[in-house]
Chain A
Amino acid sequence: MLRFGLRNLFQSRTRLLISVGGVALALMLVLSLDAIFLGMERQLSAYIEGSSADVFVAQSGVRNMHMASSSLPRAIVDRVARVDGVADATPLAYVSTAVLTKNEQYLAYVIGLPPDASLGRPERVTNGAHMVGQGDVVIDGPVARAGVGVGDDVTILGRTFRVVGVSDAYGSVFNSFAFVPLDAFRTYGSDAVSYVLVRAQPGVAPSALAERIEAEVSDVTATVRADFAKQEIKVINDMATEVVAIMNLIGFVIGLAVMALTMYTATIARRAEYGVLKALGVRTARLYRAVIVQAVVTVALGLAAGVAFTLLVAAIVPRTGVQLSLALDAGSVAKTAAFALAITALAAVLPILGIARIDPAIVFRRRIA
């Protein structure tokens, strides 16, 4: 029955192409969405991961940056710096606000750093300076891609800054980054900082250092970089979970509909042949196997094509200039494979029911070959 199933599948190339293509597109939808979110996660945690800090110190209870508010007295920076095992402590002010250019406004994470900051500085500055002085800003993301460059002016929280550097390390398709002098935040009436970025001395474990900081400095939460980044991703995931679930469901339903329809029509088209086999004495369970083989092969081809297309799109998108990063991981492929398995099982149900209802007596008056 294996040969019969496979020959049936490959005999009608058009039908095979439609079903494999339909499944591939549906699974690609699921995979692409996962890849986009994974890419976004990586983009959103890129600043944290690239900050060179081992530990992030925040206001008590704060363990991430996105949609969080942390305020620490500036004096706490020295107290953190004095903790045994700390090699460097860099204050960082942070606010999520709009960056205004001449024509547009862009949502941005505005980061204030001291001029001599050794941690948290902008990476991958492709044009201009890494460091910012009074009235300077280094930009990243959509603002930079909008054509704003070195020497241009932008407005942040009502104050004008001159662009001295452009980076392409962090900005996602939605968010820009703007690095301004830490003192710029003072003009907004606050002497506080948001975080203290800490580098551990060689040989000091970041987790032990975080515990020590929390023990010696009151009212702070110290989080190692990996956990801080993980928490940042979790906040994004919690916000996106429902969207992802809905899109996954849509992809699943499309894949299932395409598969079920093509499988069912293929089975109906060969109804008489299944009837012949039943009349000849083939047990119905064996015919089910032929259907299942076809479903498994179709979905496997669709999954492979879906993964290949997604990888291709992930490779092409960054070259188009869109600051969208698509990333595929084994977890996404495993989840999509599970989807594919469910599609296989469900798509085979209708043909199997159809075969079960076929009366072998039909072959005595049908023309099929």
Chain B
Amino acid sequence: MTDHRGAAPPESPSTTLEVTRVTKRFGEGATEVVAVRDVSLRVAPGEIVLIMGPSGSGKTTLLLMLGALLRPSSGQIRLDGAILSALPESRLPDIRLRRFGFIFQDFNLLSALTALENVAIVAELAGASGKIARARATELLTQLGLSQRLHFLPEKLSGGEKQRVAIARALMNDPTFILADEPTANLDSKTGRDIMRLLRSIAKEQGRSIVIVSHDQRIKDIADRVLWLEDGTFAQATEMAVDPSEEAARSPA
């Protein structure tokens, strides 16, 4: 399936994040750069979309726009029918806090806070009491195998542990969408594979949509769809939907 202007999801009962003919320009006149050009995309609940492409192809710009961190120059981004790109700036932080979970390449944990506090803080900022936030953060970190690391500062955690803390933080406010930027780039292959399995289970068991921007070919294994972005435009779309755990079960260790 190839569509130079956009890519459609598999048939789904409802689409909650929809990008329609979005373009993003930086600069103007002779210095104008079009980072994303006339791109359309729909992300269905529980779907994992992997966006790949060479450096400078516009992947991160697109991710920033999906996460309400950057406004498109033209086109629309709709979240549950509301035009995200038309909302006033003052409403965007709240939408980011409650509707999106972010996972970064460099983990981006707050260095002065423990693993537990790094996760709990986003719930507290969303209005939860400290006690409830800590209980929920403990539960999430325990589910992710970090029950022995709750009170560790980030500097004492391994790369994989940091990324799991970041994933717990992304899940803390029960977001509809998780946006991940190169989530396996700073991890060894085994840890990267563990993180990929984790993301897939989050999408499939919890029904959250995940958009991943990455160069990592291994992530194709967990993606439902792979979109190839080049010069700001989707050049290719491929449906994947291979469960790495199933694949691992098939393959000898």
- Contact surface of A with B, Cβ cutoff 8 Å: 1, 3-4, 7-8, 10-11, 272-273, 276-283, 286, 360-361, 363-369
Contacts and interface: CB of A to CB of B under 8 A. Distances in A.
Contacts of A281: 92-98, 100, 122, 125-126
B102 A369 contact: no
B108 A366 contact: yes
B60 interface: yes
A369 B117 contact: no
A284 to B, nearest CB: 8
A279 B109 contact: no
B113 interface: yes
Contact of A4 (B60, B64, B95, B110): B110
Given A282-B125, A369-B154, 9 more contacts: A4-B121, A7-B112, A278-B93, A280-B97, A281-B97, A281-B98, A282-B93, A286-B125, A369-B155
Contacts of B111: 11, 273, 368-369
A276 B102 CA distance: 9
A361 B98 contact: no
Given A7-B113, A365-B60, A279 B96 contact: yes
A184 B100 CA distance: 95
B105 interface: yes
B64 A369 contact: no
A281 B99 CA distance: 10
Contacts of B122: 280-281
B102 A280 contact: yes
A8 B112 contact: yes
Contacts, number: 82
B135 interface: no
Nearest to B64: A361
Contacts of A7: 112-113, 117
A361 B113 contact: no
B181 interface: yes
B187 to A, nearest CB: 14
Given A280-B122, A281-B125, A369 B96 contact: no
B162 A361 contact: no
A273 B102 CA distance: 14
Contacts of B97: 280-282
Contact of B108 (A8, A10, A286, A369): A369
Q: Which 10 A-B pairs have the closest CB atoms?
A: A281-B97, A281-B96, A7-B112, A369-B109, A367-B106, A11-B112, A369-B154, A276-B108, A281-B93, A8-B112
Question: Most chain-A CB neighbours within 10 Å: which of B93, B109, B162?
Answer: B93
Contact of A3 (B96, B106, B113): B113
Contact of B64 (A8, A282, A364): A364
B93 A273 contact: no
* Size class of the contact patch on chain B: 35 or more
Contacts of B92: 281
9 contacts: A3-B113, A10-B112, A279-B96, A280-B96, A281-B122, A364-B64, A364-B105, A368-B109, A369-B155
B117 A3 contact: yes
Nearest to A283: B93
Given A7-B113, A276-B110, A364 B93 contact: no
Question: Most chain-B CB neighbours within 10 Å: which of A10, A278, A280?
Answer: A280
B20 to A, nearest CB: 22
A140 B169 CA distance: 74
A248 B108 CA distance: 43
Interface in B194-212: none
Contact of B106 (A278, A280, A286, A366): A366
Contacts of B67: 279
Contact of A363 (B104, B112, B126): B104
Contacts of B87: none
Given A4-B113, A361-B69, A368 B121 contact: no
Interface in B58-85: 60, 63-64, 67, 69-70
Contact of A364 (B94, B100, B181): B181
Contacts of A286: 125
Interface in B217-238: none
Contacts of B177: none
B150 to A, nearest CB: 15
A58 B112 CA distance: 69
Nearest to B108: A276
A369 B112 CA distance: 10
B1 to A, nearest CB: 28
Contacts of A282: 93, 97, 125
Nearest to B70: A361
Contacts of A278: 93
A281 B169 CA distance: 12
Contacts of A277: 110
Given A4-B113, A279-B67, A281-B95, A369 B162 contact: yes
Contacts of B105: 364-365
A7 B118 CA distance: 12
Contacts of B96: 279-281
A364 B113 contact: no
Contacts of A365: 60, 105
A20 B97 CA distance: 35
Contacts of A366: 106, 108
Contacts of A280: 96-97, 102, 122, 125, 169
Nearest to B130: A3
A17 to B, nearest CB: 16
A365 B59 CA distance: 12
B27 to A, nearest CB: 16
